[in-house]
Amino acid sequence: MGQNGRKIFSTSEWREIEGGLSLSARQADIVRCIFEGMPDKEIASKLGIAIPTVRTHLTRLFEKLNITDRTELMARVVMEFRSGCPENCPRKQLQQN
Q: How many domains does the chain have?
A: 1
Report the interhelical angle of 70-83 vs 11-20 (nearest 10°): 100
Range of the domain at 58: 11-96
Q: Does the predicted model carry a pTM greater than 0.85?
A: no
- The answer to whether residue 95 scores a pLDDT higher than 50 is no
Q: Using one digit for the tens of pLDDT, what is the confidence trace for 57-94?
A: 999 999 999 999 999 999 998 888 877 665 555 555 55
Domain assignment present for residue 6? The answer is no
Q: Using one digit for the tens of pLDDT, what is the confidence trace for 16-59?
A: 888 888 899 999 999 999 999 999 999 999 999 999 999 999 99
Domain assignment present for residue 86? The answer is yes
Any residues with CB less than 8 A from the CB of 14 and at least 6 apart, and which? 28, 32
CATH of the domain at 25: 1.10.10.10
